[in-house]
Structure 1
Amino acid sequence: MKYEKPIAGWWTGRTTEQRDYLYQHIRLLDLQDQKTGVQDQRSPALLGYSCDIGVHRNQGRVGAAGGPNAIRAALGKLPALSGGPALWTDAGNLLPAPDMESAQRGFAKSVSQLLRLGYFPIGLGGGHDMAFAHFQGLVDFLPAGTRLGMVNFDAHFDLRRPLPLPHSGSPYFQMAEACKEHAMSFRYACIGARPDANTQELWDRAREWEVLVVERAQMGGTYQKDVIRKLRAFCEGLDALYISIDLDGFSSAFAPGVSAASPMGYAPEDLLPLLGWLLDSGKVISMDLAECNPGLDRDGQTARLAASLIHFSAHRPGLF
């Protein structure tokens, strides 16, 4: 793997006498420093996955390797409010050296390390192949027998077979295979799936593997109480939750800078109540945001969306 240490130059914002903005609350963490100690209180740690090789393998539009630093640039300018974490940590980026699999191994190791140090990892992507790496880090950290659930806000199931190599469309297929190896149940919910974004084979696989599916048309408005009821049933009996947000699930009106943009995606107001309910469950131990492609973005809109989702999550009462 290739590890890029965080630098202060990634974090800038409006100059103020008070510590009003998030960039003024950032601590840099070198994961290769063996002297780092365990945290007294859980706090967020940002970890970049600067890799879009999986997107290229999946025949998507490349450029998401620049996503982590674009999200940082947007996040640093947001306000630090009461009720949120007093300290934010930047743990740097994992880069492919020479391939996607090396970046995944490094990211998995880093997620596990951050959890052991008492952090709440927030992955910044990068292709959605980051999700399998994140899962591997969780499995390495969690005690045997832990009942882990994965919630993916996404237009796509990402249950495609690696043909022949893994890619950004295969992470949850790989998780299902890994669950068999570890004698774990595959507990997966895909929120926002679209009929025009998944083949019949994938719908059939999701049904066969008992995936909780909430279609995009069923996310908002009067449907939300029913969705929360389904999420409550999904979370019962789980010990831990991992949330992944693929930014290409949003309509291109809100997230134009992704590898697979579509005007048929959902809006932020559809997602936020569901994300908030999950964060309030007390079971979420980590999350990530994938597919931010700054080269295709418009006025930094997608990076700003990702940053606002992180800001919303970190300021959720009781998370930190």
Structure 2
Amino acid sequence: MSIDMSPWQGRRDPEDGKLGLRWHQKVQPADQANEEGIMILGFACDEGVSRNKGRTGAYGAPVAIRKALANLAWHHTEPVYDGGDINCNDGNLELAQYRLGEDVSKALRQRHKVIVFGGGHEVAWGTFQGIGNYLVQKQHVANPDSDQDFEEPSLEPAPTVGIINFDAHFDLRNPPAGHQSEMGSSGTPFHQAARFCQLQNWPFKYACLGLSRTSNTQALYAKADRLGVLYKDDTKLTHQHIEKTAAELQLFIDQCDYLYLTIDLDVFPAAVAPGVSAPAARGVPFDIVELLLEPILAAKNQEGESKILVADLAEYNPRFDIDNQTARLAARLAWTIARAIR
């Protein structure tokens, strides 16, 4: 896959030397990756939103987010690589998600942290497949004490992967009757992740923060309760309730071996994020989301590494953006996440 580095352009301040660098001067193509860092992947896809009867345009998001990120100041120590885009041009969403999963899994095996720019929120099922496949391979390790070929491989305990989703929607929909998994959409990724965990005998740990009750049916709330989902409506994500929410979120994080952070930009108010598939009439203020991101980004495993394996940004729709406002928001989030996980 050829990698288009042309979006990485911006201002240069040579008079300031190395301290004056910006992202576009530091990001390298993935084929030059020779040490651990952050791998950026793009998922250019509208198919899931189209199937979910939403307004399309998210296909152009990965390039637009790169352009907004390119000119931001460089405050990082480890390298960042661009692994290019998976493009869904033929309506075959399942193949595109599979290919994204392969790229995510490969980057994790190379010990990179991964940031994915979607695309609709169907990106999440591609991302989760990558995490799942990486951990399945990691779980099936040969018994180090055995020198016999016929020994059964030892099986590590089932990993607990915590999915933390900032979103106005659960995205827990069942695929259409009679189609099962082959007809996923931007509304089904966490149903598909739950099914994956069930098949692997893994716990399903899902937190969804910022829900609009007007946009989620009673059936979805009932399903979330059955699955043991930690969820908070947008009306509860206020300064008045922040301490209680942060405590519940910290408990969730402490119960997880790994984290997958996914941010659907429609969680923010339409005035802050107009360029999304489904603009929020209310939404969650940016400063509240920032406060809740702090414990997620600070979470470390026993080796002192970030618990976050992958983060992705979903549902940015350049077609409906105003003055690149939502692109700048996505870039700011990517900048913040990158600085924390490496």
Fold conserved between structures, TM > 0.5 = yes
The one of 290, 299, 323 aligned to 1:272: 290
For each residue in 1:196-252, what CA deviation from the matched residue of structure 2 results, as whole angstroms up to 9, or x when unmatched? 110010011111111001111222313111111101211223110000000111111
Say which of 228, 238, 241 aligns to 2:256.
238
User: Is the aligned partner of 1:207 residue 2:225?
Assistant: yes
CA distances 1:112-144 after superposition (whole Å, capped 9, x unpaired) = 000111111101010101101111100111133
* Structure 1 pair 91–37 and aligned structure 2 pair: CA distance change class (3 A): closer
- CA–CA distance in 1 between the matches of 2:5 and 2:88? 22
Aligned equivalents of 1:110 and 1:85: distance in 2? 24
Q: Does 1:106 align with 2:104?
A: no
Give the Cα separation in 2 of the matches to 1:150 and 1:14: 36
TM score, norm. by length of structure 1? 0.92
Alignment of 1:129-168 (within 5 A): 129-142=122-135, 143-144=138-139, 145-163=158-176, 164=179, 165-168=183-186
| Number of the residue aligned with 1:9 | 6
* Distance apart, 1:52 and its partner CA: 0.9
Return the TM-score normalized by structure 2.
0.86
Count of residue pairs brought into register by the alignment: 306
What are the equivalent positions in structure 2 for 1:1-320 lying under 5 Å apart?
3=1, 5-17=2-14, 18=17, 19-30=20-31, 39=35, 41=36, 43-81=37-75, 84-96=76-88, 98=90, 99-142=92-135, 143-144=138-139, 145-163=158-176, 164=179, 165-282=183-300, 283-316=307-340, 319-320=341-342
Contact 2:206 / 2:230 at 8 angstroms: preserved in 1?
Answer: yes
CA displacement, residues 15-67 of structure 1 (integer Å, 9 cap, x when unaligned) = 2203421111110114xxxxx7763x4x2211000011000000000010000
Structure 1 residue 278: Cα displacement: 0.4
Does the 8 Å CA contact 2:168/2:280 hold for their aligned counterparts? no
In structure 1, how many angstroms separate the alpha carbons of the residues matched to 2:171 and 2:78?
A: 35
* C-alpha deviation, 1:97, in angstroms: 5.1
One-letter code of the match for 2:201? A
Runs of 4+ in 1 over 4 A off after TM superposition: none
Point out where structure 2 has 5 or more consecutive residues left out of the alignment.
Answer: 140-157, 301-306
C-alpha distance in structure 1 between counterparts of 2:268 and 2:206, whole Å:
20
Stretches of structure 1 lacking an aligned partner (at least 5 in a row):
31-35
Amino acid at match of 2:104: V
- Counterpart of 1:221 in 2: which secondary structure? coil
Q: SS in structure 2 opposite 1:10?
A: coil
Give SS of 1:8's match.
coil
* Structure 1 residue 263 displacement after superposition: 2.4
Q: For the residues of structure 2 that align with 1:24 and 1:225, how far apart are their CA atoms?
A: 40
**Contact 2:22 2:73 (C-alpha < 8 Å) held by counterparts:** yes
- Percent identity, aligned pairs only, is 37
CA RMSD for the aligned pairs?
1.4
2:168 and 2:215 in contact (8 A); partners too: yes
- Contact 1:190–1:212 (Cα < 8 Å) also in 2: yes
Is the 1:123–1:289 Cα contact (8 Å) retained in structure 2? Answer: yes
Q: Is the 8 A contact 2:165 2:207 kept in 1?
A: yes
C-alpha separation between the residues in 1 aligned to 2:235 and 2:312?
24
